[in-house]
Amino acid sequence: MINVTELNGAAIFSVRVQPRASRNAIAGEWQGALKVRLTAPPVDDKATAALCTFLAEHLNIPRAAVRILAGERSRVKRVEIRGVTAEQVRELAAAAAEQRMEKRK
């Protein structure tokens, strides 16, 4: 399960980024963090910017509501998203798991 903390109207959690993937996708959970695959390379903060945009699109919030707290140049990042709940973040991983199960059928 993804470890999510709610503080002052924001959800704070870890994200494990896999850059240079074949497509952008939520890959589930990895050691308490949300695992996200991104096509962007890990160069010039492109993967970090792509992560913020990707999360904002999937949670239907403005891009400005997503902020990297720690790990800007690391694969494991600490993210703060204003205006979402811990449950909404956990649903991202659950929805990704359901999609993977449907593809296997």
| pTM confidence score | 0.87
Which tokens go with 73? Answer: 């140049």
Number of H helices, E strands in the chain: 2, 6
pLDDT at 12: 93
Structural domains of the chain, ranges and CATH numbers in brackets? 4-104 (3.30.1200.10)
HSE (CB half, 13 Å, CA atoms) of 99? 10
What kind and span of H or E run contains 66?
Answer: strand 66-70
pLDDT at 28: 82
The CA-CA-CA angle for residues 66, 69, 74, to 5°, reads 105
- Pairing of the two strands 10-18 and 4-7: antiparallel
Name the residue among 1, 7, 21, 4 with its Cα closest to residue 89: 4
pLDDT at 62 over 90: yes
